Every structure is written in C-alpha cells, then in structure tokens.
Amino acid sequence: MVQKSTSTAGLRGQVAGETALCTVGVTGSGLTYCGYDVSDLAANATFEEVAYLLQFGQLPSQDELDRFHQALKAQRALPQALCEILERIPKSAHPMDVMRTGCSALGVLQQENDFSEQDDHIINMLAKFPAIMTYWYHFHFNGKKIETGSNADSIAEHFLELLTQSSPSELHVQALQASLILYAEHEFNASTFAARVAASTLTDIYSAVTAAIGTLRGPLHGGANEAAMALISSFNDPADAEQGLMAMLSAKDKIMGFGHAVYRTSDPRSIVIKEWAKRIGEEVGNMNLYNISEQCEKVMWREKELFPNADFYHASTYHHMGIPTDLFTPIFVMSRVSGWAAHIKEQRANNRIIRPSADYIGEEPRVYTPITDR
C-alpha cells in the first residue's frame, strides 16, 4: 500500500489560496467584504454598491455608481434565442437547473472572447440572472411571456417587479437588497472554489460561473433556505415546533438551517435577516412563521448549541414577500454571482492551475491478466 500523507477530508481547515475579497469567522463569527463588515453594508449600502466593491475593491463614487446602474439597466433584456431556450426547459425542472442552463446558454450567445471583456460579461450576468428565472417561471406556471427589461432602480426592484408583475413595496425592495448583500460573497465555499478551479484552467467566465451554479445546486451547499421553509411550514405554532423538533432530535433526523462549517458562535448574516423577517411578518400581519422560527432557534441552541445560519430566517422573509419556495436558491445565485465573478477575476490576475494531489488507497501494483485466464 502506498504511504499516505497528512490530509484532511473535505479540505477542512486547509488554506487553498489567498484572497483580498472576504474574511469569514476569523474570531468565531464576523464577515467582511474587502474590509467592510457585512452588517454595516447591509444596513447602509445597496447591492449594486457591494457588487461594485467586490469587482473593483473600493466602494463607488456617485458618478461610478450611476454609470454602473446604467450599464446594468442596458443589459437586462434577454435575447430572443435565450427566451426560446428557457421555454424548452420543462416545467418539471428545478429552477437551479434553469439557472445553470441559462448561464451556459448566455455564454454561447454572448461569448467572452478575451479576458479584457470580463467586466462587461459580469454586468451581463448580474443584469440578466433575475430575468432568466422569472421568464421561465412565468412561461411555465402562468402561461405568459413577460417583458424582461425594466427601468427599475435596482436589481432587487427589477427582480420583484418581474416576479410579481407589479411595483413592489419599498420595504420589500429594502429587504431584498439586504438579502442580496448578505449572500454576495463567502470566501472559499464550495461553489466559489469550484469557480476558481474552473477559472484556473483559463476557461471563459460563463463556464466558471456555470460550474459554481452546479455546485450550489447540491443540497449540502445551497437549498437550506428551501429546507428551512419546509421545516417551519410543517408546524402549526411555536408549541408544535417545540414538540416536533424534539421528536426530530430524538430520531437523529437532520435539521437544515442550523450550524455552520466555519462560524463557531453565530452567523452574522442571520442576525441581520432575522430583523427583516420580523419586519416583513409585521407588515403582512402574520407573525406565526417568525414565532415558529424563533422557537426553533431556541430549541436548537438549548439542545445542541447550534445557531441559525443565513438561510434559516430567509425562509419566512421570502415567503411573506410572495416568492415561491423553489426560487429561494436561485435568488442566492442572483446575488452570489457578484462574489463568484470577483474570485474569477482574482484567480485570473495571479493564476496557477489548481491541481491538488490525492492519497492512493487502492490495490498494490498488479499484472494484466488476459481475459481468457480470468
């Protein structure tokens, strides 16, 4: 047997590279983008400011932000060929499959021919991802072809306008802005690392982002907000949640939306979105899901010392904003493309192909046996 080297399953705790984009859980909690605390950004910035920050390392001036907004607005409408592709994706497909296929198709229709074009293609994806999911959704579930361009002031407003086919409330726009900021970037998580591995081969930016979307599609990475919605909607009230969770814990069932691979004491994003969950619940006059969520939080901390992650309180927030549960994770894509793209740019700027080694645990060397002698 070949001698094994020191390795860590899943690369946990292993440093795989350098980044100037993000710090995660340095002191057990906390999250920064280019040195700015995510809570500060969520309270004061727009998602467009944060997307600009991740791409260029600095918050934009007003003139820079205005130009960024105009560039995004100009690219919102989907090309007809992409609309036709989306129409042919079956209604039974998961919306994450739609996002993966839509991104790949976009890369065929509007190809990145040179890395000097990368900023234009990042704007293209940021602008078009909201329409990719909403066009497919309306075509298959509402039987209509929607207009995919708009003059909305932000990506958050644009998405909500396309989804609801009406002008969203300012509170909903603000809540979604905060959500997009919280989901924008998270260091070397699985999907970001997949994007960097792809980028290290010098592939085009759409291929790298498609790899990231495919990785996020896995239930161990994305989808926890959908699972959290299924959990909290299965309970009638906080008392029912207490009993139900205790039964699940006794049966050793997996409970999604709690704990984190990096954070040790709390997830700073959860603190922010919890407040928005409360405000949105109060706006619609229905606090039951929020109260159930809060009881789940209390039980999980009391019994397991597990805290809610970013996805947990997103569930009731999105639900009360009228967002279908299947679209929860695609919204993650709509935001995280800003972080993925920034990492792709960073990888390209100082590239070396990512090619780790593995410990061989197979058979000792063997001699080929002719098939007649087997």
Q: Set out the domains of the chain in order of their start, with CATH numbers.
A: 20-217+326-349 (1.10.580.10), 224-320 (1.10.230.10)
For tokens 């057990």, the residue is 28
Say what the pLDDT of residue 6 is. 59
- For residue 2, is pLDDT > 50? no
The Cα-based distances of 149 to 58, 91, 157, 161 in angstroms read 28, 23, 12, 10
Write the pLDDT tens digit of every residue in 204-236: 999 999 999 999 998 888 888 899 999 999 999
Catalytic residue, chosen from 121, 260, 320, 343, is 260
Decide if 51 contacts 281 (C-beta within 8 A). no
Burial letters 130-155, b for 16+ CB under 10 A, else e: bbbbbbbbbbbeeeeebebebebebb
Catalytic residue among 311, 314, 319, 343: 311
Q: What is the mean pLDDT of residues 104-133?
A: 97
Please state the rounded mean pLDDT for residues 117-132.
98
- Is 319 among the catalytic positions? no
Report, as an integer, the average pLDDT of 262-271: 88
pLDDT tens for each residue of 138-190: 999 999 999 999 999 999 999 999 999 999 999 999 999 999 999 999 999 99
Catalytic hit among 69, 94, 140, 221: 221
**Known catalytic residue at 158:** no
Q: Is 260 a catalytic residue?
A: yes
